[in-house]
Structure 1
Amino acid sequence: MFLNSQTDMPYRFTYREIAEALQAALRDDPFFSTMERSVSQDINEAKEAMIRYMDYSMVEARKYGELYLPEGKHYGASIWSKPLDEKLARQKSIEKKTFILEHMREGSLKTYSAIVTFMSEQANGLLPENIWYLSILAIDPVFQGQGLGTGLVETIIGKADGMGIPTYLETYTPENKTFYKRLGYRETALILEPVTGAGYSIMIREPA
């Protein structure tokens, strides 16, 4: 059990440049902005913590799910979760909570747990057990509007399609729903999340 957080603890980056791009892209997203504010009133400290969070999320996806990075580029990424057996799921959860406590704040863990628990409860009964989850898709604001989003997801979607596996996502950004619908996702629920105070959509894509 951790009694104190240490946002100044050393952290070894694996994908620093891409993590910076993801933080910049998602800083106004209700979930990520709420997490960022939970770290500190110091803007720079909070930003650095979220850059670490993005880096950790990519490392976590590489270990437990799927990670797509454009070859030789640093403008964005897609980060996916996959179903795990009970032992691996518990290990993944412990590692994530340890990261948040060590590199963010105890309050950040409470915020994260409250949001994720609520969203998981809302998804219960809507999703098949084998479904893959697109947890983060983001492009550096400098590169947005260039049609790069599809390239970040089509490889993993194709992989899931080849295995007959559906995928889903949760988005707090209504403007993004048209993009996802073009990829074959359909909106199945619109929910108000109480911690962020924002609505989000659950969208599911059946394998082609």
Structure 2
Amino acid sequence: MSSPSNIEFPRIARSLAAALIGDPFYRVVTVACGEDEAARLEMLTAYFALALDEGEQAGRVDLADDAGNGAAIWTTDTPSAQRQAAYAQREAALRNLLGERGFAHFTAIVENMEHALAPHGLQDAWYLSIAGIAPDAQGRGLGASVLAPGLAAVDAAGATCFLETYNERSLPFYGRLGFAVAGRYAEAVTGCDYWLMLRQPSAA
């Protein structure tokens, strides 16, 4: 596992913010920024710094490269009490960061997605919660390479993993990594569809 030091957090968080600023989920949770894209980038940088911290506490964080050009953040088989404590800590910080409307959107979307997940029996699955590469570093294969260590760990654990994406164009990319579409859902808060993708562990 390649884990960032706190010194690297700002660069990695900003890379994730730049990569994902157009995602419908991140647009609506940063509603307090209105049309101010610079403010949105700053808010998302703080958002992803919190996510990186949670990932280090209760999952795994893999880096795209030594320059901080992106990361993959996973929820793993860490004990549930540890995961819940880390999530609660991040949630409290997000309430302040996102503001009343943004946090309400965040909470509603999480609840909607959890409802959609329930029939799939993924309580013990690993979750690829965030993955992104800075726009100016894309096209170099970093997207696949940043996911490789986590996927190897998933396979070693014999676990299923899943992700959710609003980006239909990313489906072939994840498909090449062994993920398959398990459902397409309309999400009310964003007003957009997203895809649930599952990956079964690869045989050794």
What TM-score do you get using the length of structure 1 for normalisation? 0.87
Are 2:155 and 1:161 equivalent residues in the alignment?
A: yes
Shift of 1:95: 1.0
Normalized per residue, the structure richer in helix is 2
The match for 1:54 is 48
On the 8 A contact 2:18/2:41 being kept in 1, the answer is no
Are 2:20 and 1:26 equivalent residues in the alignment?
A: yes
What secondary structure does 2:198 align onto? strand
Q: 2:63 aligns with which of 66, 69, 76?
A: 69
**Number of aligned positions between the proteins:** 197
Superposed counterparts of 1:86-125, under 5 Å: 87-125=81-119
Q: Matched residues in 2 for 1:147 and 1:45: separation?
A: 30
Residues 21, 71 of structure 1: CA spacing in aligned structure 2 closer, same or farther, 3 A cutoff? closer
Shift of 1:189: 0.2
Q: 2:127 aligns with which of 121, 128, 133?
A: 133
Residues 45, 121 of structure 1: CA spacing in aligned structure 2 closer, same or farther, 3 A cutoff? same
Shift of 1:106: 2.0
Q: Matched residues in 2 for 1:30 and 1:13: separation?
A: 29
Residues 161, 108 of structure 1: CA spacing in aligned structure 2 closer, same or farther, 3 A cutoff? same
Q: Matched residues in 1 for 2:64 and 2:138: separation?
A: 14
Are 2:141 and 1:147 equivalent residues in the alignment?
A: yes
What TM-score do you get using the length of structure 2 for normalisation? 0.89
Shift of 1:81: 1.2
Bigger mean CA deviation after superposition, 86-95 or 122-131: 86-95
Structure 2: 5+ residue stretches without partners = 1-5
Are 2:164 and 1:175 equivalent residues in the alignment?
A: no
Aligned-residue Cα RMSD (Å) equals: 1.9
Shift of 1:185: 0.4
Q: Which amino acid aligns with 2:121?
A: L
Q: Which amino acid aligns with 1:143?
A: A
Q: Which amino acid aligns with 1:55?
A: A
Q: Matched residues in 2 for 1:89 and 1:149: separation?
A: 26
On the 8 A contact 2:54/2:87 being kept in 1, the answer is no
Structure 1: 5+ residue stretches without partners = 1-11
Q: Matched residues in 1 for 2:80 and 2:144: separation?
A: 32
On the 8 A contact 2:59/2:76 being kept in 1, the answer is yes
What secondary structure does 1:77 align onto? strand
Runs of 4+ residues deviating >6 angstroms: none
Q: Matched residues in 2 for 1:176 and 1:129: separation?
A: 24
Shift of 1:82: 2.5
